[in-house]
């Protein structure tokens, strides 16, 4: 079964735009858990423009389901993850000024750095996922450096889905098959939505987890948060 992990960064964006605590990010996390999501994803950045480090600490204390913390494993991020001890850390090569995640790791070029970080996180019992473009050549090095899973960066799939979904999914299928051959778990995330997530799941049914934020929170403006979480869960079932 593919699990749904809801990224709540966009809720924090709205809160931060006015200051104060409306909407309440912590309440959103516990509500989304109560509505049936199997995980909560957060992606804190050093400038605190959406999810903040203190949010991560509070959410970890408040939820019982899996917490997935995404980010570039710079020193401050690494220290936070080792302190909080989420179920999973997803390593993403974000530049400090990136608006959103926009590429996967070159695991060959950054092999030693990523291996060192994976060893640190494993020392606290944290599952390690590496954010990758749909490139099977990067999967072998992810396995060799000690990753438990890879997360496929699905922006290109989502962008090309409407024009030709068979072509859009092709590289992802090959990369996912390589991950399975290497004994790695498989996650997927970025621009997945009610329109395109079911086909991805049908073609790559061994996907362990989909991390979805922007589309789900946007849909919640029209359908309500509880109903939207249920709609996404139905697409995965």
Enzyme catalytic residues: 43, 70, 190
Give the pair of three-digit tokens for residue 234. Answer: 């139905």
How far apart, in Å, are the Cα atoms of 60 and each of 2, 39, 54, 119? 22, 11, 10, 22
Backbone angles phi, psi at 187, to 5 degrees: -115, 165
From the list 54, 30, 31, the residue with the least C-alpha distance to 44 is: 54
Return the HEC string of the chain: CCEEEEECHHHHHHHHHHCCCCCCHHHHHHHHHHCCCCEEEECCCCCCCCCCHHHHHHHHHHCCCEEEEEECCCHHHHHHHHHHCCCEEEECCCCCCCCCCCCCCCCCCCHHHHHHHHHHHHCCCCEEEEEECCCHHHHHHHHHCCCCEEEEECHHHHHHCCCCHHHHHHHHHHHHHHHHHCCCEEEEECCCCCCCHHHHHHHCCCCCEEEECHHHHHHHHHHCHHHHHHHHHHHHC
């Amino acid at each position: 079964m593919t699990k749904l992990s809801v990224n709540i960064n966009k809720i924090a964006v709205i809160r931060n735009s006015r200051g104060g605590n409306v909407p309440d990010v912590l309440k959103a996390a516990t509500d989304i858990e109560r509505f049936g999501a199997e995980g909560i994803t957060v992606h804190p950045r050093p400038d605190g423009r959406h999810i903040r480090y203190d949010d991560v600490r509070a959410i970890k204390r408040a939820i019982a389901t899996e917490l997935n913390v995404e980010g570039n494993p710079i020193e401050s991020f690494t220290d936070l993850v080792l302190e909080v001890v989420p179920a999973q850390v997803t390593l993403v090569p974000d530049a400090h000024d990136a608006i959103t995640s926009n590429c996967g790791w070159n695991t060959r070029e950054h092999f030693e750095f990523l291996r060192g970080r994976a060893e640190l996180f494993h020392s606290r019992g944290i599952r390690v996922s590496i954010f990758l473009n749909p490139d099977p050549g990067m999967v072998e090095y992810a396995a060799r450096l000690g990753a438990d899973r890879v997360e496929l960066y699905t922006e290109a799939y989502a962008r090309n889905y409407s024009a030709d979904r068979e072509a859009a999914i092709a590289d992802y299928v090959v990369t996912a098959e390589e991950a399975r051959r290497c004994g790695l778990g498989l996650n997927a995330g970025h621009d997945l939505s009610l329109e395109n997530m079911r086909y991805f799941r049908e073609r790559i049914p061994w996907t362990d987890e989909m991390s979805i934020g922007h589309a789900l929170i946007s849909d919640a403006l029209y359908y309500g948060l509880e109903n939207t979480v249920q709609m996404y869960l139905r697409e995965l079932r």
